[in-house]
Each structure stands twice: as structure tokens, then as C-alpha cells.
Chains A and B, each alone.
Chain A
């Protein structure tokens, strides 16, 4: 998986905001790798589900309750 070109920091934001921000980034940078930062399991699940539905590959790293969601085609 290549390094993300765009980072979306959605930490502390309640759903659906992280999903809205991720989708905006997907539309603005189609096909580019994205890194989404969230800090709640709900946001992690929702962003991952969105990305998978849009045909992206998703990997998640967790560090002390913070999640780094790597999204790539």
C-alpha cells in the first residue's frame, strides 16, 4: 500500500462527520490514497465500511484508542 497523499484528521468528531469528510476527500482526490485519523470505534467502523463499499482497500492501525485508517485503491 503506497503512502497516503491526503490526510483527514477527524479525531474527536462524531459520526457522521468523519464519513462526510472522507467522502469529500474521495470525491476531491479520486483514486488517491487517503489516511483518515479517528479516535472512536464507531467512526473507524463507519469510515472503513464507506471505503470498502466504494471499492477501496482498507487497513487500520490502532495506537492507544486512536485509529489510522489507510484507504487505497
Chain B
């Protein structure tokens, strides 16, 4: 199959799965949301105690295992790491802060938009703006440095973690948390969720689909290739939402959303900016982590930690709006992104103003 057909097919299938999972039990406009799923997993593990968002989502294990298996089969699994691991962990943390202020990852943003939630349009504007800022720093030579090959065992950590999480949700030991109300209590049957996750994992690994990459490449290299996937995802999700009767146009009373436009914009600004610095959206990070990229695996753990942090301290948004401290944290997150972007960009000093420092000279 040629690359263009594969990316369109992947977007289309994922758009359909994103709506189908709602029909099969997930909360409305919550068929796939990487940020929310990671937040639910943090809750299921008891890393935060927000009782309405605790469930170890089998979809995430599916994303990881699907991508891992297909990467192995395609000869694309390669353990590697060492590209600013701690910074990437922190960037994962920051991206999830933005996502939990908006209430969704870029993929859920597209699904929300396809179901008529116009707050997601405001989020999209922020996301595009964030990507644009990120591209500015790419042009300034922003880099987190290269990675290096590692022993295979490092690359197996994330898939093993995925199996562990899957066993926890199947065995349901007493120390695991399950929401009794709210979005965390609404889920498709475990095997269905797992299967859906596996399909998404395989498709994203093969097609390289990325919500941030699609828009980034449009601006950066005028290449619409990845964006075709985003477009197909949106269109199929739109038709599916209409067909299943989930489409509801407007700002008010949208499922698991708030109407505070400024913070919807700012939250997704942080997600877009952070995703460009990381080289991909949250889903793409999970897929790269499953292909053996331990830095992306660490980004996933950063997202998990960030989600726990946001709910542990009551910072995440809810349909009621964005808490005051949540607003402070997302502004700090934006400031941190700017600091990381500036400090990892190559600043070229014009020749006539630069002064040569003799080698060995101190200060």
C-alpha cells in the first residue's frame, strides 16, 4: 500500500474507532483520548484520588503492544535513548498539564470537533498557534540532541509495563481503583478496548500518523502528507458522530468540556508547542516508545506523572471550568516551554559583533 493511502486509511479507521468506542461504552467524545486515558490510568493506580477518573484503560496497553509487535515484525524495533531524557520527561509532564486544562489530547480535540463541540475549535486555534511557536524555535536550531543505540532490554520496558497494566485491569486486585461514577466509570468491555487499542497502535506505527506532525509539516515544509491522516480522521469521525446520533453543535453543555475559551486556547497552545519540541503528539510519543525509543517511553512516564500531579492537587479542569491554581500552573508550563526552547536553540551571533575568546582563557 502506498504511503498516502495508508495515512488516509489509518486516519479514517481511527476516526471510526474513536466514535465506535463511545457506542460500546466509553463516555461521550471520549472514544480515544490519550491524555485522559493516561490520567485515568494514574487514577486507577491510585496515584491521584479524583474518584471520577480512575480506570486502567486497556486501550493504552493496546496502543503500546500493537505498535511494539508490528515494529518487531517490520524490523523497525530498535532500542535507543539519550536524547535529553530528563527534559523529555518534563516536556511530557508539561504537555499533559496543557491537555488537562483543555480536557483532551490533540486526538480528542479532533473527535470533539467532529462531534460538534465548538470549544474544540478554540482549542485547535491554540494548538495551531503552539505549533507555530514551536516551528519558530525549530528554525532557530532547536534540538534535544541525538539518541544512541541501547541494548534491546531497555526497549522492552514499556511493552512489559503495558502487559502489567493489562493484567491489573483483568485481575482487578483490591488495591486498584475503579470509578463508580463519572467518565472513569464509563468504558467499553476490556477485550474490545484492548483490540481497538491494538488496531490503533498498529496503524499509527505503520502510517506515522501524528496530530501535531500533520499541522507542523504543513507550515514547516508545506507537506500535507500527515495532515491527510488528520483530515480523514476528522471526516470519518464527523460522519460517524452524525450516524450514531452524537453530533451536537455548539459551545454549551458539551460532554466533558468547559466553555472558557481563553484557557481552552492556552491549554492547547501548551500542547502544540510542547508536542513540536518533543517531535510528536502524545499518541505518537507512546508509539515511538513502543518502537524502542526509551526517551519517548520516559515522556510517557512524564505524562503519567503530570496527570497524577494535576489531579492530586486539584489543578485539572472539569466541566465546571478551570481552577485558579490550574491557570497558574498552565502559565508556568508555558514559561517553562519557552525557557526550554530558548536554551536548546542554537543562537547564531553575527560575525562582526562576536568577540573571539582565546582558548584556555577563564571567564
What residue of chain A has the Cβ atom nearest to residue B134's Cβ?
A16
Q: Does A31 contact B (CB under 8 A)?
A: no
Residues of B within 8 Å of A25, CB to CB, are none
Q: Once the chains are docked, how many angstroms separate the CA of A16 from the CA of B143?
A: 10
A20 with B80: CB separation less than 8 A: no
A16 with B3: CB separation less than 8 A: no
Q: Does A3 contact B (CB under 8 A)?
A: no
Instruction: Count how many chain A residues have C-beta atoms less than 8 Å from C-beta atoms of the other chain.
Output: 19
B279 with A15: CB separation less than 8 A: yes
B223 with A53: CB separation less than 8 A: yes
Contacts A12-B83, A50-B223; is A20 near B208 (CB within 8 Å)? no
A32 shortest CB reach to chain B, Å: 19
What residue of chain B has the Cβ atom nearest to residue A17's Cβ?
B143
Q: Does A60 contact B (CB under 8 A)?
A: no
Residues of B within 8 Å of A53, CB to CB, are 221, 223
Question: Which among A11, A15, A39, A65 has the highest number of chain B CB atoms within 10 Å?
Answer: A15
Q: Does B220 contact A (CB under 8 A)?
A: yes
Size class of B's contact patch?
20 to 34
Q: Once the chains are docked, how many angstroms separate the CA of A49 from the CA of B208?
A: 13
Contacts A20-B138, A42-B208, A65-B78; is A49 near B223 (CB within 8 Å)? yes
A45 shortest CB reach to chain B, Å: 7
Residues of B within 8 Å of A15, CB to CB, are 213, 279-280
Residues of A within 8 Å of B179, CB to CB, are none
Instruction: Fill in one digit per residue for B76-93: 1 if any A CB lies within 8 Å of its CB, else 0.
Output: 101010110000000000
Q: Once the chains are docked, how many angstroms separate the CA of A12 from the CA of B293?
A: 10
Give which listed residue, B146, B220, B225, contacts A11 with CB less than 8 A: B146
Q: Once the chains are docked, how many angstroms separate the CA of A39 from the CA of B150?
A: 13
Task: Kindly identify, within residues 14 to 72 of chain B, every residue whose CB is under 8 Å from any CB belonging to chain A.
Answer: none
Q: Once the chains are docked, how many angstroms separate the CA of A13 from the CA of B82?
A: 11
Residues of A within 8 Å of B83, CB to CB, are 12-14
Residues of B within 8 Å of A11, CB to CB, are 146
A16 with B76: CB separation less than 8 A: no
A13 shortest CB reach to chain B, Å: 5
B223 with A13: CB separation less than 8 A: no
Question: Which among A11, A15, A16, A50 has the highest number of chain B CB atoms within 10 Å?
Answer: A16
B208 with A19: CB separation less than 8 A: no
B221 with A45: CB separation less than 8 A: no
Give which listed residue, B82, B217, B288, contacts A16 with CB less than 8 A: B217
A41 with B76: CB separation less than 8 A: yes
B217 shortest CB reach to chain A, Å: 7
Instruction: Fill in one digit per residue for B285-310: 1 if any A CB lies within 8 Å of its CB, else 0.
Output: 00010000100000000000000000
Q: Once the chains are docked, how many angstroms separate the CA of A15 from the CA of B148?
A: 15
Q: Does B108 contact A (CB under 8 A)?
A: no
Given contacts A16-B221, A17-B279, A20-B220, 16 further A-B contacts (CB under 8 A): A12-B82, A13-B83, A14-B147, A14-B280, A14-B288, A16-B216, A16-B220, A19-B221, A20-B139, A39-B78, A40-B78, A42-B208, A45-B208, A49-B225, A50-B223, A53-B223
22 contacts between A and B (CB under 8 A): A11-B146, A12-B146, A12-B147, A12-B148, A13-B83, A13-B147, A14-B83, A14-B144, A14-B147, A15-B213, A15-B280, A16-B221, A17-B143, A19-B221, A20-B139, A23-B221, A40-B78, A42-B208, A45-B208, A49-B223, A50-B221, A65-B78
